[in-house]
Structures are given as C-alpha cells and as structure tokens.
Amino acid sequence: MSAAPGSKGKVLLAYSGGLDTSCILVWLIEQGYEVLAYMANVGQEEDFEAAREKALAVGATKVFVEDLRRELVEELVIPTIQANAVYETVYLLGTSVARPVIARSQVKIAQQEGCTHVSHGCTGQGTDQVRFELAYYALAPKLQVIAPWRIPEFYQRFPGRNALLAYAAEKNIPVSQTPSKPWSTDENLFHISYEAGILEDPNVTPPKDMWKLTVDPEDAPNTPERITITFKEGKPVRVTNEADNTDLTDPLDLFLYLNTVARRNGVGRIDIVENRFIGIKSRGCYETPGGTILRAAHIDLEGLVLDREVRAYRDEHITPVFGKMMYNGLYFSPEGDLLTKMVPLTQTNVNGSVRVKLYKGSLTMEGRWSETETLYDMEQSSMDVQGDFEPIDSDGFIKIQSIRLKKWGAKFQN
C-alpha cells in the first residue's frame, strides 16, 4: 500500500527525463515523498522543456532547470586543463568535472525549498553515486540521501529495463518510442561517455554509429584546419581561425567553438578500460573534442614558458593527485580545496599562444610564442650562435654529475 504523498518528507530528485529517473520519481511518490525534480543544463543535447512537462505530468510538484554551463567551464574545466589532469594517463575526466557543479546546485535548491532529502538515479556499481553523495554530505551534512538503485526493495522489483517499462505502462509514465541503444551515455559540454551493453565486452569494436559528437576521422575533411589558442596564466583567453573568421574571447564561447572545430575534424575519441573508485574495472568510450585540443595546446605552451622545476613538481605532486581527486568525487574535500588553490600558483607564467593543426583525428602543434615570458633564449639554444653561454662551462657540470656514477661503476671493475 502506498504511503500518503509527502508523509515521509520532501525530496529533490536529480532528473533526466529518461525511463529510470521517471520511474524513480513515481516510485518515490508511491513511498510517501513529495518529489521536486531538478535538471542541470551542463551542455547536453536535451529537450529540457519536454522533460519539465514530463516530470510535472508524472507527479513532481516543482521542476527546476539550471543552466550551469558557464560555471562548468570557468570553475571546473579550465582548472582541470591548467592542471593537465587526467585519470590513469588517458581519461580526461569528462563526467567527473561536471558532478561538482551539478551536486552543488542541487543542494542549494534543496535547502531553499526546505527539502529533507536529495535523490539520484546512479547505479550501485559505478563511481557517479560516490561523486554525488560525497558532494551532498560535504555541502549539506544534514541532508538525507535516497539512492534507489541501492535499495533492495527497488532493485529487486526492477531487475531490468522490461520491469521498468511495465511499471511505466502501469503508472502512465510517458516512454519514448525511440529504440534503446545497446549502451548507456552521459553527456555534457566537455564530453560524452558510452558504456555498458555491448561495450561490456572489451574486445567488441564500437559500431560506427555509436559516436555522436565527432565525425569518423576517416571521413573528416582532407584539408587540415588551423587555429591559434592564446593563454593567460594557463587559461584560454582567445581562439582565432582565419579560415572562418573566428575570433573569440569569452570562455564559454571559445570552448563551444573548440568543440565545433574538433568535432568536424574527428578529434577527441578514446576507448579504454579504467579502474572505478569502488574497485570494478569498466570499459568506457569517450569523446572529448574541445578538451583534447585545449589540454594538448596547454601542455605544449608550458614547454616554452614554465620553469623546469615548477613543471616537474606540478607533474609529480599535483597533476596525478588532482586527476584522482576529481575522478573519485572529492572536489569538495580538504585535499580538493588545497589542490584547487595550488594549481593557479603554477600557472602565473603560462602566457602565450599556440598554433594547432587539426587533421583527421590528429593534433599537431605547429608553433608557439610568448610576448612576455623569456625562459626560452634562441641564442642560448642555437647550434650556430654561441650567445652568452660558454660551452666550456658544461665540462664542470658533467664532472660534478659523474662523481657518484664513477663510484658506482668502480664496483663492477675487475
């Protein structure tokens, strides 16, 4: 028997408009909760108005749609690029970077509306459940969390898609007639991910029509496209492309443009097996078009302008830890706070521009320069000009470096 709606409290549900969260919404009402629905616009291609109407139609008392795209780019994407952060050397953290802004906004609305609970539709096997809930608890320790896919009563009642479809039919929940893809996706303006279904076999080649954002590199234009990206303190501040008269300086606009130019040139695809935070290996395919360009250009510019020891320290002590922190959902944590404050300190001198060639899925850095940083000295580096560097000085440097090596090598002499 269903409990009276609202008798157990008020819950703000992270809602997508899909089958799972629509069924969760109705199930929560059935359990006795008043349900408010929350959707975050983080750049995914979504009909938010249709989703709003659907949530209201199936019982939500209020629906909130929040545009978080600028927050995502300025507060999460750009600092992640500044840190050159990745997870396990290849994953550009596309899903991970969006979770802090989504969770923060959900908590804010929940508090404003006097909610007793927040809820989400994450599975009990993935890392997203961890990311959302650690953020909830850090930002609002007294809020209670309902995770249906970890409640036996729920997941035993709905062991698969057919059970959800039957429940939707019973409760008059509108269901899209579009055939379900044999994989699941998560999308924001930084990337799209594909996992589960046929992709669970790591030896299955993704079908060509799976990739949504980028053109197949084999089908990309036969003519290279060239752009120039300018950075100030490690942040992209300008993108130009003479071929299409592009000249952008707004952070969100230039990032969206980088997505566009990367997509049409087939840039940004990866297919990997990663280690989830909870200990399960997972196969994932990702498209991160604009982010792939930005990270590569940023790394290239650092070679020109960043002090050797600062770069080495950052690469060893900040970059991998930042990536792991983001992947594991610990942005709102003492270490997350520390790392986000440390990254800008490494970027003071990352000022300059990089010329990038895009061609059939590949990126080539064709040149870089800085009008303010002077660590690179053409005369010192030249094989043809001596400049103010005396080659004889290298003699003493090598002798000092060889002292311990001579002692080590002497042990093996007869």
Catalytic residue chosen out of the listed positions 69, 128, 295, 300: 128
Residue with structure tokens 């060239």? 226
CA 341 to chain centre: 19
User: What φ, ψ does residue 266 adopt, rounded to 5°?
Assistant: 70, 30
Residue 20 is among the residues annotated as catalytic for this protein: yes
Residue 22 is among the residues annotated as catalytic for this protein: no
Alpha-helical runs (H) found in 306-355: 308-317, 319-327, 334-345
Is 123 exposed, middle or buried (CB count within 10 Å of its CB: 0-12, 13-18, 19+)?
middle
Beta carbons of 114 and 212 less than 8 angstroms apart = no
Three-state secondary-structure class, residue 275: strand
Catalytic residue chosen out of the listed positions 70, 150, 157, 184: 184
Q: Which residues, including other chains, have CB under 8 Å from residue 358's CB and lie 6 or more apart?
A: 224, 225, 226, 227, 261, 262, 265, 267, 293
Residue 308 is among the residues annotated as catalytic for this protein: no
Residue 209 is among the residues annotated as catalytic for this protein: no
- Residues linked to residue 237 through DSSP beta bridges, in sequence order: none
* Terminal Cα distance for the chain, rounded: 89
Residue with structure tokens 């790394």? 299
Would you please indicate which residues are annotated as catalytic (active-site) residues?
20, 99, 128, 184
